[in-house]
Amino acid sequence: MTMKNYAVVGGDKRCALLAELLAKSGNSVHAYALDKYNLSDAIVKKPSLASLKDKYDCVLLPLPLQIEAGYLNAPFSINTYLLDDVFSLFPPGQKVVAGKVPHSLFEKAGRLGVALFDYLEREEFSVSNAIPSAEGAIQIALEKLPITLNRANCLILGNGRIGKVLSQYLAGFGAKVCVSARKYADFAWISAFGNTPLPTGDLTGKISGFDVVFNTIPRLVLDEKLLRELKPEALIIDLASSPGGVDLFAAKELDREVVWALSLPGKAAPLTAAEIMMTTVQNILEEWGYGK
């Protein structure tokens, strides 16, 4: 394996653990905007972003790249950083990997001659990441529900990667699982896995009996009308990225319990999430001609 020179900039615990994994593999790792995390001595801690002007084999930014619009996601930093300022530091030709990158930053990277890639464009990353997401969702359900998952009536909104993995895990607990989708092909797969399909666009009158609803669709699905239909004690776990799939204002007014589980892999299984990130970065660099 070819050893490389990495910069890890900001991010949550999974990014800090990513830095540790890269260093443990014999790479040179410089950490930025991770001031409050207790990193090992194998990692060079940088007090400012100034030396990002130096050329690295790859700069690794957070997933998601930003929490507040325009600012680097850096919960372990003592400072805040504008993303425009961060990108302006990169030299032409710098290779950068980040997650959930807004279109405006792809445009900026292009103008600066920076090679920018998004973790979420990689199928192997998204499939692997669905596993800690599904496990984390089940952990929340086990902690929050007053009943067992065995024989619980569960609805999964969306039959994407997370929905597929989650449906199998819930079935393993003995839950009664319904999965919503829009395509006939998805209906066939849902049925093939022994679950019940529901049309996502035709949920009215069909969701009153569920004990827990898992949303994986990143657009409004559970509006006030559907929230009223759910029984008052139903638990709603929203796994979708911003803006989510639940009308949170209506849910609060109706006293419905909603857990919006953002960045779940980094919370539920940060080491596994870091390993997935490292493998994805290695795959990207190999395709860029750097070799593993």
Q: Answer yes or no: CATH 3.40.50.720 is held by domain 5-121+269-287.
A: yes
Percent of the chain with pLDDT over 70: 99
The pLDDT value recorded for residue 216 is 97
Give yes or no for a contact between 211 and 256, defined as CB atoms under 8 angstroms apart.
no
Q: Kindly list the domain boundaries of the chain, sorted by start residue.
A: 5-121+269-287, 130-261
Helical axes 123-144 vs 270-287, angle rounded to 10°: 170
What pLDDT score was predicted for residue 262?
Answer: 86
Q: pLDDT (tens digit, 9 = 90+) per residue, 149-167?
A: 999 999 999 999 999 999 9
Task: Evaluate if residue 292 carries a pLDDT over 70.
Answer: no
**Residue 88, pLDDT score:** 95
- Mean predicted lDDT score pLDDT of the chain: 95
Q: Encode pLDDT of 182-232 as tens digits.
A: 999 999 999 999 999 999 999 999 999 999 999 999 999 999 999 999 999
Name the pLDDT band for 264 (thresholds 50, 70, 90).
confident
β-strands 95-98, 115-118 pairing: parallel
Q: What is the pLDDT of residues 102-130, one digit of tens each?
A: 999 999 999 999 999 999 999 999 999 99
Over 90: is that where the pLDDT of 83 sits? Answer: yes
pTM of the model: 0.87
Q: Hey, do 5-121+269-287 and 130-261 end up sharing a CATH topology, with the first three levels equal?
A: yes
With CA atoms as reference, report the closest residue to 8 among 99, 85, 92: 99
Q: What is the pairing mode between strands 28-32 and 44-46?
A: parallel
CA distance 196 to 179: 6
Q: In angstroms, rounded to a whole number, what is the distance separating the alpha carbons of residues 52 and 225?
A: 50
Confidence (pLDDT) at 67 = 83
- Whether the predicted pLDDT of 139 surpasses 80: yes
Average pLDDT for residues 163-186, to the nearest whole number?
97
- Look at residue 118 in the predicted model and tell me its pLDDT: 96
CATH topology of domain 130-261: Rossmann fold (3.40.50)
